[in-house]
Amino acid sequence: MKRRRFLEYFTAASAMSVISLNRLNAEIYTGIDDLNYQYPQDSPDGKYWDALRKHFLFEDDYIMMNNGTLGPMPEPVYNELIKYFKMQVTNPYDCYNYFPSLKNEVHQKLADFIGASRDEVAINRNTTEGMNIIAGGTNLEEGDEVLISSLEHPGGYYPWKMREKRSGIKVIEVPLNSPPKNKEEIINSFRERINDKTKVISVSHTVYINGLIFPLKELSEMAHKNDILVAADSAHGFGMLNLNMHDLGIDLWASSPYKWSGAPTGCGILFVSKKAQDRIWPVIASSGWDNMDSASRFETLGQRADPLVFALKEAMNFQNRIGRDRIERRIKSLALYLKEGLSEIDGVRLHTSMDTEISAGLTAFSLKGVEPGHIVNYLLERYNLVVRTIGRDRDNTRGVRVSTNIFVSKEHVDMVIEGVKHLASG
Ligand SMILES: Cc1ncc(COP(=O)(O)O)c(C=O)c1O
């Protein structure tokens, strides 16, 4: 979106009535329906995605190829956010009555969106909170062992390290390659370290350092044979992958929908399977903490910014309108195109697998003899393209990470390849 139109949009939407905001969203969705009709399959010329990109609220002076921390928001989500904040501010009394039932609808939509049951989903603030509930609340005794991977994010690592210090459990890191050869290599690394004391395996679903998509289904099958709970930090998963919790067979799963789906920051998701619910306690208690029939006991937190939750609903509507399979396919095909281009450059080492069963929208790489920070700065200065440095020396993962969300075009990917080629040629 051009800067001028971007500012106009913000000003206009903020001043609109609830009815006008509803109308605006209806128009956007009619436009997307038309596009879907025109392009039932992916458009090879990229026109489908070019048209969709216009609905994302960021100044297109920047090419956003980092979906870490948080990502851009589509217009309908912003419109809903404004709408519900307005309602809350102008009529708090009606909100007492209206918001709880609306929140219930969001929970059901969320459950459908991730292939779970209504009573298995909780809405909290972010992945870090979800992982703290998982690590802090799971029934464990001194001497019990928890396996984690060597590639965990601090938000999924420190909750277990704190529990280790507090309760005398043992947290064991399982080393993983970047990239791993295949699913079997990953599962075998964990299988080899299981013993009678192993009670939990906790891994990243979407590994932030090297873009690995963890084979959770296979891991869950292997772990459940040994009565081990499986927990996953899927900070990037919501909005990047077409998810089904029951199909993955996972027990515990946390995500931050504002990275890939355009939901507002401050809105997170925790899935706790029916089977796992009597093995985990809430870490914050208020009325409802002892509702043993539902994961709602993991979200008691007094008053919250409910408009964030309603905007999450719209982020799901936006994705559903486009099509979840279509989104995952696009994200993966852009990443594959990027990896193929990078792999032809002398000196490039890919840290992410080419296999789209264990990789998706995050691609990490390094270039021999060139500092990752230099690559990031060059791409920003030359193309206004935003990517980030990632990783560390100790496991040879230091490099650059690129995200290929649906508002990225093939031309943007070409710029990354061209820029890296230029730096590789000295
Ligand atoms: C794998 C992983 N886990 C956890 C987090 C923390 O996310 P949040 O700050 O949304 O809790 C991140 C952040 O990017 C991440 O990449």
Kindly state if the Cβ of 145 falls inside 6 Å of ligand 1: no
Residue 1 pLDDT class (50, 70, 90 cuts): low
Short-list 393, 407, 389, 415, CA closest to 68: 389
Residue 13 lies in a domain: no
How high is the pLDDT of residue 422?
Answer: 98
How high is the pLDDT of residue 376?
Answer: 98
How high is the pLDDT of residue 92?
Answer: 86
Residue 393 φ/ψ, nearest 5 degrees: -70, -35
How high is the pLDDT of residue 95?
Answer: 83
Q: How far is the CA of 175 from the centre of ligand 1 (A)?
A: 20
Domain that holds residue 389: 326-424
Residue 416 pLDDT class (50, 70, 90 cuts): very high
Cα atoms found within 13 Å of the Cα of residue 13, Cβ hemisphere only: 24
How high is the pLDDT of residue 60?
Answer: 66
Residue 94 pLDDT class (50, 70, 90 cuts): confident
How high is the pLDDT of residue 6?
Answer: 59
Could you tell me the two tokens for 301? 């937190």
Residue 151 lies in a domain: yes
Average pLDDT, stretch 229-248? 98
Which residues contact residue 289 at a Cβ distance below 8 angstroms, ignoring those fewer than 6 apart? Answer: 282, 297, 300
Kindly state if the Cβ of 266 falls inside 6 Å of ligand 1: no
Q: How far is the CA of 89 from the centre of ligand 1 (A)?
A: 31
On whether both 232 and 167 belong to a single domain, the answer is yes
On whether both 246 and 359 belong to a single domain, the answer is no
Residue 290 lies in a domain: yes
On whether both 336 and 394 belong to a single domain, the answer is yes
On whether both 262 and 283 belong to a single domain, the answer is yes
The closest-lying atom of ligand 1 relative to the alpha carbon of residue 127 is 11
Q: Any idea what the CATH number is for the domain that residue 358 is in?
A: 3.90.1150.10
On whether both 339 and 200 belong to a single domain, the answer is no
Q: How far is the CA of 421 from the centre of ligand 1 (A)?
A: 31
Express as a percent the part of the chain with pLDDT over 70.
Answer: 96
The whole-chain average pLDDT of the chain stands at 94
Residue 20 pLDDT class (50, 70, 90 cuts): confident
Kindly state if the Cβ of 132 falls inside 6 Å of ligand 1: no
How high is the pLDDT of residue 286?
Answer: 95
3-state secondary structure of 63: strand
Tens-place pLDDT, residues 115-146: 999 999 999 999 999 999 999 999 999 999 99
Tens-place pLDDT, residues 68-92: 788 889 999 999 999 999 988 888 8
The closest-lying atom of ligand 1 relative to the alpha carbon of residue 204 is 1
How high is the pLDDT of residue 10?
Answer: 62
| DSSP state letter for 213 | B
Q: How far is the CA of 403 from the centre of ligand 1 (A)?
A: 14
The closest-lying atom of ligand 1 relative to the alpha carbon of residue 128 is 11
Which residue among 69, 125, 128, 240 has the greatest number of ligand 1 atoms within 8 angstroms of its CB, and so is best to mutate?
Answer: 128
Q: How far is the CA of 38 from the centre of ligand 1 (A)?
A: 37
Average pLDDT, stretch 152-179? 97
Element (H, E) at 15: helix 3-15
Does residue 16 have a pLDDT over 80?
no
Strands 145-149 and 170-174: parallel
Kindly state if the Cβ of 71 falls inside 6 Å of ligand 1: no
Tens-place pLDDT, residues 259-269: 999 999 999 99
The closest-lying atom of ligand 1 relative to the alpha carbon of residue 233 is 3
Average pLDDT, stretch 199-228? 98
Kindly state if the Cβ of 152 falls inside 6 Å of ligand 1: no
Q: How far is the CA of 284 from the centre of ligand 1 (A)?
A: 21
In whole angstroms, give the CA distance from residue 132 to residue 405.
28
Residue 308 lies in a domain: yes
Kindly state if the Cβ of 341 falls inside 6 Å of ligand 1: no
Which strands sit side by side in the sheet containing 121-124, from one edge to the other?
A: 121-124, 268-272, 252-255, 229-233, 198-204, 145-149, 170-174
Kindly state if the Cβ of 257 falls inside 6 Å of ligand 1: no
Residue 112 pLDDT class (50, 70, 90 cuts): very high
| DSSP state letter for 123 | E
Kindly state if the Cβ of 68 falls inside 6 Å of ligand 1: yes
Tens-place pLDDT, residues 305-357: 999 999 999 999 999 999 999 999 999 999 999 999 999 999 999 999 999 99
| DSSP state letter for 280 | B
Number of domains in the chain: 2
Express as a percent the part of the chain with pLDDT over 90.
Answer: 85
Residue 1 lies in a domain: no
How high is the pLDDT of residue 128?
Answer: 98
Average pLDDT, stretch 210-216? 98
Does residue 366 have a pLDDT over 90?
yes
Tens-place pLDDT, residues 392-403: 999 999 999 999
Kindly state if the Cβ of 404 falls inside 6 Å of ligand 1: no
- Given a contact cutoff of 8 angstroms between Cβ atoms, the answer to whether 185 and 177 are in contact is yes
Residue 369 lies in a domain: yes
Kindly state if the Cβ of 87 falls inside 6 Å of ligand 1: no
On whether both 170 and 311 belong to a single domain, the answer is yes
In whole angstroms, give the CA distance from residue 61 to residue 418.
19
Q: Whose CA is nearest to atom 15 of ligand 1?
A: 235
How high is the pLDDT of residue 198?
Answer: 98
Which residue among 149, 208, 234, 255 has the greatest number of ligand 1 atoms within 8 angstroms of its CB, and so is best to mutate?
Answer: 208
Kindly state if the Cβ of 234 falls inside 6 Å of ligand 1: no
Which residue among 123, 125, 126, 127 has the greatest number of ligand 1 atoms within 8 angstroms of its CB, and so is best to mutate?
Answer: 127
The closest-lying atom of ligand 1 relative to the alpha carbon of residue 234 is 1
Q: How far is the CA of 422 from the centre of ligand 1 (A)?
A: 32
Q: Whose CA is nearest to atom 7 of ligand 1?
A: 127
Q: Whose CA is nearest to atom 4 of ligand 1?
A: 155
Q: Any idea what the CATH number is for the domain that residue 136 is in?
A: 3.40.640.10
Residue 381 pLDDT class (50, 70, 90 cuts): very high
Does residue 12 have a pLDDT over 90?
no
How big, in percent rounded to 5, are the helix, strand and coil portions of the chain? 50, 15, 35
Q: How far is the CA of 155 from the centre of ligand 1 (A)?
A: 6
Residue 25 lies in a domain: no
User: Could you tell me which residue, 195 or 91, shows the higher pLDDT?
Assistant: 195
Q: What is the DSSP string of 355-395?
A: -TTSB-SEEEEEETTB-HHHHHHHHHHHH-EE-EEE--TTT
Kindly state if the Cβ of 126 falls inside 6 Å of ligand 1: yes
On whether both 298 and 398 belong to a single domain, the answer is no
How high is the pLDDT of residue 233?
Answer: 98
How high is the pLDDT of residue 189?
Answer: 98
Residue 142 lies in a domain: yes
The closest-lying atom of ligand 1 relative to the alpha carbon of residue 130 is 11
Tens-place pLDDT, residues 161-172: 999 999 999 999
- Given a contact cutoff of 8 angstroms between Cβ atoms, the answer to whether 240 and 114 are in contact is no
Residue 7 pLDDT class (50, 70, 90 cuts): low
On whether both 295 and 332 belong to a single domain, the answer is no
